[in-house]
């Protein structure tokens, strides 16, 4: 049922008040470019300063991997070409989205996506084709399951699913599984594929046998999936799409009447089960919003309606192209999702010429109860991406157990993991120092998959290329709102 203008005006006033709960992100910024502007100063090593937030300047790493604040340390858990699976084969490359789960006897299980697009022959270290866990033997991507002991020692790594493509992000479920998302629309016969791709698959880190003979959850649609979260109260799944020409969409899947989530239940769904819809936003005056880049001030609140997708399997036309102008709202590079505080935190990584208004990153909060979307973080266009401290391109995110967000930077130039507190201050957590370019033209891969261990003591994150999973520990502290 559409929202009335009166309903929306009331709800937007409430949503604009934000959230300030322990462990929540709350109101993260209050002006365009707030994150970039929060870091004008630099320490002696050039690292950005967060005006009292965070853990101090980043200290260069003599091993050239990861700069961290004083008192923090890291451990390499997996590294492509160095570590091996339990089967003896190399850890696959191009680490991306990651989920953590409590294992037996204090261990942590991590499901790690490997964003490998196209045929296996294109990649030196594809995901091995483990018998029974292969969807399309022509595809290079998939997931591995990594086990880490309570003391942080890597225990082992094995294939969770293979033969999928471009496994980018995904999301954990309340029933303890991982939903891995294919960021591609390749069909059988395209780029060497033997099956259609662009789907979501479920991986159970505790019981890999449950995923034997993998098949996609077609009810969630076929498009360039990025991430997914589950509303544990209403049963909806929310999904992002990273695509252009035209820009992608934010989706909601409503389960069919009587359906109950749980282990293995998504596998039982028919391809047309439930309802897949794309969002449509409007402002407090009831005016349609064509693209999220129109918001130029943090705290902006939009009402949200949902419009049913005509052909979710995109047999002839990509899902995002099935809508006419004015029917839905678009956004550039819809990336990370995280469920917390009763709603979904949603990232639009950046906007350039393909969007109405340029920016270098947004984080929104969708409140399903009020059906509102509130802009929490807005990064102005970064004038100097090579400068350490200038931030752009937020991608994967997680809500920290210590308050605020931890954000993986996937922009230009220097790459960081950085935090944002409830009251808008930002601070560096880590800087990638692994130069995969040359001395004259340095290049630093993006960070991916930030996620805390179940006990909150360890922050896991990846350097995507060549593929390194890191465990970061140190004197974490709760960030309190300044008065």
Spatial distance between the Cα atoms of 13 and 328, rounded to a whole number of angstroms: 23
Give the tokens for residue 14.
């409430």
148 and 245 share one domain: yes
Place of tokens 């980043």: 58
Domain that holds residue 294: 5-34+80-410
- pLDDT, position 30: 31
339 and 239 in one domain? Answer: yes
Residue 168 burial by CB count (10 A; 0-12/13-18/19+): exposed, middle or buried?
Answer: buried
- The CB density around residue 388, as the number of other CB atoms within 10 Å, is 19
What are the tokens at 225? 């999936």
Cβ-contact 163, 116 below 8 angstroms: no
The reply to whether 243 and 324 lie within a common domain is yes
> Which of 385, 410, 435 is the last residue before a domain boundary?
410
Contact 415, 432 (CB under 8 A): yes
Cβ atoms of 163 and 188 within 8 Å: the answer is no
Same domain, 391 and 470: no
pLDDT at residue 20 in the model: 25
Same domain flag for 346 and 422:
no
pLDDT in tens, 157-189: 999 999 999 999 999 999 999 999 999 999 999
Which bin fits 449, alpha (ψ -120 to 50), beta or left (φ > 0)?
Answer: left
Q: Residue 480: its pLDDT value, please? A: 66
Residues 173 and 96 occupy one common structural domain? yes
Domain count within the chain: 2
Closest by Cα among 401, 395, 396 to 454? 401
Of 375, 410, 445, which one is at a domain's C-terminal end? 410
Question: Does 147 lie in the same domain as 19?
Answer: yes
Q: Is 359 helix (H, G, I), strand (E, B) or coil?
A: strand
Q: d(Cα 335, Cα 317) in Å, to the nearest integer?
A: 22
Based on the number of CB atoms within 10 Å of its own CB, is 258 exposed (0-12), middle (13-18) or buried (19 or more)? exposed
Nearest-Å Rg of the Cα atoms of the chain is 21
* CB distance 58 to 70 below 8 Å: no
Phi, psi of 211 (to 5 degrees): -105, 15
Same domain, yes or no, for 156 and 289?
yes
Please give the Cα distance from 395 to 214 (Å, whole number). Answer: 28
Per-residue pLDDT, 2:
54
For residue 375, the cross-strand partners are: 364
List of the chain residues with pLDDT < 50 = 4-6, 8-50, 482-483
Examine the domain organization and report whether 28 and 41 are in the same domain: no
Query: What would the pLDDT profile of 436-476 be if each residue is shown by its tens digit?
Result: 999 999 899 999 999 999 999 999 999 999 999 999 999 99
Distance (Å, rounded) from C-alpha 462 to C-alpha 459?
Answer: 10
User: Which domain CATH number covers 230?
Assistant: 2.120.10
| 311, 350: one domain | yes
Largest CA distance in the chain: 62
Q: What is the pLDDT of residue 468?
A: 98
Domain end marker among 352, 382, 410 = 410
Alpha carbons within 13 angstroms on the beta-carbon side of residue 235 total 13
Residues 425 and 279 in one domain: no
| Chain centroid, CA 58 distance in Å | 24
331 and 386 housed in the same domain: yes
Question: What percentage of the chain's residues is helix, strand, coil (to nearest 5)?
Answer: 10, 35, 55
Q: 249 with 330: CB under 8 angstroms?
A: yes
Between the alpha carbon of residue 214 and those of residues 61, 200, 209, 223, the distances in Å are 42, 11, 10, 18
Distance between CA atoms of residues 129 and 142, nearest Å? 9
């Amino acid at each position: 049922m559409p929202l009335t203008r009166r309903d929306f005006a009331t709800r937007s006033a409430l949503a604009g008040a934000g959230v300030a709960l322990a462990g929540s992100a709350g109101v993260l910024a209050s002006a365009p470019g707030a994150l970039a502007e929060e870091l004008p100063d630099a320490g002696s090593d050039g690292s950005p300063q967060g005006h009292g937030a965070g853990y101090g300047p980043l200290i260069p790493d003599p091993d050239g991997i990861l700069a961290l604040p004083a008192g923090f340390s890291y451990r390499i858990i997996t590294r492509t070409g160095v570590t091996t699976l339990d089967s003896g084969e190399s850890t696959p490359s191009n680490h991306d989205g990651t989920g953590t789960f409590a294992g037996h006897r204090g261990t942590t299980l991590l499901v790690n996506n490997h964003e490998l697009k196209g045929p296996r022959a294109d990649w030196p270290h594809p995901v091995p084709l483990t018998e029974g866990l292969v969807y399309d033997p022509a595809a290079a991507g998939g997931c591995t399951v990594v086990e880490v002991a309570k003391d942080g020692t890597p225990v082992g790594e094995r294939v969770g699913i293979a033969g999928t493509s471009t496994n980018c992000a995904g999301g954990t479920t309340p029933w303890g599984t991982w939903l891995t998302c294919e960021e591609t629309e390749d069909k059988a016969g395209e780029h060497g594929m033997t099956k259609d791709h662009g789907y979501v698959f479920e991986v159970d880190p505790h019981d890999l046998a449950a995923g034997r003979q993998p098949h996609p959850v077609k009810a969630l649609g076929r498009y360039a999936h990025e991430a997914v979260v589950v509303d544990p109260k209403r049963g909806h799944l929310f999904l992002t799409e990273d695509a252009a020409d035209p820009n992608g969409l934010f989706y909601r899947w409503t389960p069919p009447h009587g359906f109950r989530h749980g282990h293995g239940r998504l596998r039982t769904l028919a391809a047309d089960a439930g309802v897949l819809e794309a969002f449509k936003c409007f402002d407090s005056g009831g005016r349609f919003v064509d693209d999220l880049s129109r918001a130029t001030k943090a705290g902006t609140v939009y009402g949200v309606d949902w419009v049913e997708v005509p052909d979710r399997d995109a047999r002839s036309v990509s899902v995002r192209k099935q809508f006419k102008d004015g029917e839905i709202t678009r956004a550039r590079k819809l990336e990370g999702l995280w469920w917390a505080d009763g709603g979904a935190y949603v990232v639009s990584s950046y906007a350039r010429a393909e969007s109405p208004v340029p920016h270098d990153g947004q984080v929104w909060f969708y409140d399903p109860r009020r059906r509102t979307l509130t802009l929490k973080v807005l990064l102005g266009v970064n004038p100097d991406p090579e400068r350490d401290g200038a931030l752009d391109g937020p991608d994967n995110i997680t809500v920290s157990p210590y308050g605020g967000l931890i954000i993986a930077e996937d922009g230009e130039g220097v790459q960081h993991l950085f935090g944002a507190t409830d009251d808008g201050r930002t601070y560096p957590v880590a800087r990638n120092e692994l130069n995969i370019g040359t001395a004259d033209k340095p290049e630093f891969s993006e960070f991916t998959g930030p996620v805390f261990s179940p006990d909150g003591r360890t922050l896991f994150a990846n350097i995507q290329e060549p593929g390194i999973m890191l465990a970061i520990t140190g004197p974490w502290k709760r960030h309190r709102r300044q008065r």
